[in-house]
Structure 1
Amino acid sequence: MSDSYLPVLVLMIGAVGFAVAPLLLAWLWAKTFSPRKPGKDKNAIYECGLETKSDFSIHFKSGYYLYAIVFLVFDVEAVFLLPFATAFSGFGVGECVAMLVFLLLLIEGLVWAYQKNVLTWT
């Protein structure tokens, strides 16, 4: 029984190694070969080649982020609904109920966003 999970374990170790190895190598390279030269110019805020004129940062409305998140949620909804719509005739009752629950959860999210005024730009 444990032999059947060996390929999965090897692939998981390979996936983690593939993600962590470049980060570890970059960190080692920076520690070994990159000299630390702190100074006024290196610690200065740099934005598009222009010097900053003030010390404060611009605060963005969180509504823009919420609007983007709602857009992504309903964009993913379209990805899940397309296969369901194309194979609708081949589904049984269980699949239709699962899709109905999925749609009800998305409608609940839309109602929540409407109640929180996420969908308005003012």
Structure 2
Amino acid sequence: MLQNYTPILVFMGVGLGLGTALVVIGWLLGYLFGRHKPDAAKNAPFECGYDAFEDARMKFDVRFYLVAILFIIFDLEIAFLFPWAVVINQIGWFGFWAMAAFLGLLVVGFIYEWKKGALEWE
């Protein structure tokens, strides 16, 4: 019984060992050959060039999440409509009503975002 799981355990062991070895080797090479002289330029903000003027843990507006949900709605709709349209003749009425239920759920999400004002630009 355990013989069936041997390849999985070997694969996990090799992956864990290789990952650990690479992290340790990278740390050792950085420690041995890296420069350890930080100056003002290295410690300066580098993402946008400006000092932070607000707390990084501020709350986002709910519209940010609504736009993300909107993207998921349309992305999923398109990703599932193409394969469905290709095989609609083979899956029959069951497939039609299953996709109708799926699109109904997406329409409910779309209406929710519309009512919350996520589609209005400021």
Indicate the TM-score class for this superposition, using the shorter chain for normalisation: 0.5 to 0.7
Report the CA distance between 1:90 and its aligned residue: 0.7
Structure 2 unaligned regions, length at least 5: none
Report the CA distance between 1:32 and its aligned residue: 4.6
- Relative to the length of structure 2, the TM-score reads 0.61
Partner of 2:112: 112
- Alignment-mate amino acid for residue 75 of structure 1: D
Partner of 1:24: 23
The list of structure 1 runs, each at least 4 consecutive aligned residues, that deviate by more than 4 angstroms after superposition, is 1-7
Structure 1 unaligned regions, length at least 5: none
Report 1:41-56 matches (<5 A).
Answer: 41-47=41-47, 52=50, 55-56=52-53
In percent, how many aligned pairs have the same letter? 34
SS of residue matched to 1:110: helix
SS of residue matched to 1:96: helix
Q: Which structure dedicates a bigger proportion of its chain to helix?
A: 2
Report the CA distance between 1:80 and its aligned residue: 0.7
Rounded to whole Å, the distance in 2 between the matches of 1:65 and 1:36 is: 41
RMSD: 3.8
Report the CA distance between 1:13 and its aligned residue: 2.9
